[in-house]
Amino acid sequence: MSALGRTITLEFCKLCGWAHNVWVIHRTFEDNLDAEVVKRLKCPYVVSDLSIITLEYCLLQIAKLHDNAVQNGNKNLTISYVLEFGGWDEKTRSELCMLASKLEKLRQKIKPARNKILSHNDLETILNDTLHGKFCKDADIEYFNTLQEFVNVIHDKEFGGPYPLENSMAKNDALILVDVLMGKLNPLF
């Protein structure tokens, strides 16, 4: 048991699951949409925009998980909140801090994107067409594997077992949409 309680633990796990689902949808688009085929579609701009929308939204969801526990007197349900208000025993706290440190690596890469583009329309960034938020290939996969470990630790302490972030429906539906867009599947069936 933790000081978070069952409701807060479950809500935090749901937020992590939502970030994971959004990421899965984006990765499915990125990994499976053929750029040359997209150019020949009847709606190439919408498909390209959807890829950007899912990327930006995914990065924003990840960034929000790393907000401060308390900002301007308001509490945020974040990784910091879980660490600060969880009331963990020393072993669990140490494990969570180690995992949070690993998660922080990607957060540091996307923080400038959140501050300059995702949450604000920073004039200098726009005028200079500056790229923010770039990270190494597959760093996002490592991030979500680590987030899964983090979630499992807190969920296990409260409920006695893991909390799977993976929602196969998100990936399956995204793959179907990709197949429809690529002309491999009739959208009516």
Fill in the amino acid letter for 92.
T
The encoded tokens of residue 21 equal 């689902």
Q: Give the pLDDT score at 26.
A: 92
Which of 29-33, 38-42, 47-51, 128-132 is least confident?
A: 128-132
Separation in Å, CA 102 to CA 81, 105, 131, 138: 17, 6, 23, 14
Q: What is the C-alpha separation between 142 and 103, in angstroms, rounded?
A: 9
Mean pLDDT of 64-73: 95
Residues 159/163/169/175 CA torsion (nearest 10 deg): 180
Q: What is the C-alpha separation between 173 and 189, in angstroms, rounded?
A: 13
Q: Give the pLDDT score at 134.
A: 65
The encoded tokens of residue 24 equal 């899965």
Domain ranges within the chain, ordered by starting residue: 5-181
Q: What is the C-alpha separation between 158 and 6, in angstroms, rounded?
A: 6
What is the chain's mean pLDDT, rounded?
Answer: 88
Q: How confident is the model at residue 108 (pLDDT cuts 50, 70, 90)?
A: confident
Return the ∠ at Cα 145 (arms to 115 and 108), rounded to 5°.
Answer: 25
* pTM (two decimals): 0.88
Q: How confident is the model at residue 189 (pLDDT cuts 50, 70, 90)?
A: low
CB 54 within 8 A of CB 26: yes
DSSP letters, 66-107, are TS-SEETTEE--SHHHHHHHS---HHHHHHHHHHHHHHHHHH
Q: What is the C-alpha separation between 142 and 149, in angstroms, rounded?
A: 11
pLDDT, tens digit, 9 for 90 and up, residues 127-171 = 777 665 667 788 899 999 999 999 999 999 999 999 999 988 988
